[in-house]
Every structure is written in C-alpha cells, then in structure tokens.
C-alpha cells in the first residue's frame, strides 16, 4: 500500500545555524512550511514572526502557513496579509466575536483562512463558521513549546472533522500538529489527517543533517505504518 503525505515542517524546531541548508533541501520535498507565531501572552513563549516568513520566502516559493498563538489575532492577521502569507490559522479561543470579519478579511486578500483547536477546545466551537474556512489544525499537544506530551485522545477530533466534511461537503483541510514521530506515526496515520506537521522529534533532531533526517523520517513512517511513503505534490505560492 502507499499513501501520499503532505508534510509541513514546523520551522520553530529547525536548526537556525543550518537555516539556508535546511530550507533549500526541504523546498523540494515538502508540501508547505508551518510557521509558529507566539506573542508571549497566549502561550508563555516567543517564537517566529512575519519577518521570518519574509526571510524564508527568499529561499522558497512554497506555501507558508502561519499558526497564530496570540491574544490579539486582529493585529497579527493584518501583518500576515501585508506580506501575503498564503494560509493564516487563528486560535479558535481568541476569535469569538471577530471570526467572520477576520475570515472575510483574509479571503478578500486572496489568502486562505484556518483555525486552530487547542486540546481543550471542542470541534463544536468552530461550527458557526466551519463552512467558510480552508483549514482546521488539531493540536495533539499543549501549545507553545516543542516536545510536549502527546495527547492521543485528541485524535478523535480528526475523525469528527472528516465525518463533518463528508456529511456536509465542506472544503477545509485537516492538519495534525504535535509530536508526529516514530512512536505515534501509526495512530496518527490511522485517522488520516490531510497535513502532517513534523518538528523536532519527528524530523529535525533525528540526525545531524537534514537530508539523512528526512530519509530516517520516511523509514520510520514506513516501518510503523506498513505503507510506502509518497510525498504529495508540493504546494507553491501563487
């Protein structure tokens, strides 16, 4: 058996000493890039920024997906629109009252709008606007730090979202974010997300260089799932 996989590396976990080398290699292998943006308030950490996306764009024309972990999504959404970040994923917990306006604002700019469900947030939270979003990111770890404990019970949200999409003809993609690695490949793959975010434990820390780490990731996927790894055709920015 084989399965096309859309892999989206979490650039927060890459080795910045090898920034150019890693982006250049991944550019020809991944479906998109996942960029975590944290403000130190929504989660107790600071991470990447719109400026980082601009720097990455100098080396890659692949789709950039921003994962906002911020208390003021209105402020950050406009910055990401200004640099034409292709996908802007907002925290469901912080957009109540402005969700429709922000989604319309992103779509009016010709970009894609997504929402992120933290572990404690049920799928029902986004039902009022689920029909107009382009992506739902399901967190299977607590947000804000790499290496958090994998929360297996969150995988049921992916199954729920797939059923909702099938029953209603929705168009959103389902992304899984959190501890995608050898230990969890089988259970994650069983629920069939559309996009797999991989980070430190599943890619960047496997070996000393990105090419051999990529090959080890593929080997671990095939060993744990019994399926052949086939990379989905990479998304390029418009």
Cα gap 60→71, rounded to integer Å = 29
Report helix, strand or coil for 79: helix
| CA quadruple 66, 204, 152, 182: dihedral sign | positive
Which residues are known to be catalytic?
A: 36, 177
Instruction: Please report, for the chain, how many H helices and E strands are present, in that order.
Output: 7, 9
Cα gap 119→147, rounded to integer Å = 15
CA atoms within 13 A on the CB side of 234: 17
């Amino acid at each position: 058996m084989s399965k096309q996989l859309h892999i989206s590396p979490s650039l927060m976990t890459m080795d910045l000493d090898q920034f150019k080398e890693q982006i250049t290699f991944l550019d020809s292998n991944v479906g998109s890039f996942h960029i975590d943006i944290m403000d130190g308030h929504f989660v107790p950490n600071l991470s990447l920024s719109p400026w980082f996306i601009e720097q990455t764009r100098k080396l890659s024309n692949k789709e950039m997906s921003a994962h906002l972990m911020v208390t003021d999504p209105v402020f950050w959404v406009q910055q990401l629109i200004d640099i034409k970040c292709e996908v802007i994923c907002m925290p469901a917990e912080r957009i109540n009252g402005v969700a429709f306006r922000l989604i319309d604002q992103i779509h009016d700019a010709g970009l894609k709008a997504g929402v992120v469900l933290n572990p404690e947030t049920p799928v029902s939270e986004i039902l009022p606007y689920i029909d107009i979003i382009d992506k739902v990111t399901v967190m299977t770890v607590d947000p804000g730090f790499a290496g958090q404990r994998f929360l297996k019970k969150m995988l049921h949200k992916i199954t729920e979202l797939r059923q909702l999409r099938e029953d209603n003809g929705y168009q959103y993609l389902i992304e899984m974010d959190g501890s995608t690695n050898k230990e969890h490949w089988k259970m994650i793959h069983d629920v069939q997300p559309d996009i797999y975010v991989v980070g430190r434990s599943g890619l960047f820390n496997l070996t000393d260089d990105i090419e051999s780490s990529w090959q080890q990731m593929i080997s671990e996927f095939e060993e744990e799932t019994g399926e052949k790894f086939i990379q989905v055709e990479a998304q390029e920015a418009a």
